[in-house]
């Protein structure tokens, strides 16, 4: 059985209520016509990583 550690951590750092307030403030991914650029990522997990850095004090 495989455990989703990243999803579990992001849900603990970023409860549904906080995510509901934050999600409308984030810009949506729009692919470029000519291609290239960065691939889309899960916005909730990316924002949870920002919250982790800010609350843990890690560099």
Those residues whose C-beta lies under 8 Å from the C-beta of residue 22, and which sit 6 or more positions away, are 14, 47
- 23: helix, strand or coil: helix
Quick: pLDDT tens for 41-54: 888 888 888 888 88
Q: pTM for the full model? A: 0.67
CA distance 21 to 35: 31
- Pair 13, 54: CB distance under 8 Å: no
35 has pLDDT over 70: yes
């Amino acid at each position: 059985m495989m455990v989703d550690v990243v999803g579990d951590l992001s849900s603990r750092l970023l409860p549904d209520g906080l995510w509901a307030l934050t999600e409308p403030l984030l810009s949506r991914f729009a692919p470029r016509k000519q291609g290239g650029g960065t691939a889309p990522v899960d916005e909730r997990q990316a924002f949870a990583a920002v919250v982790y850095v800010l609350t843990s004090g890690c560099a």
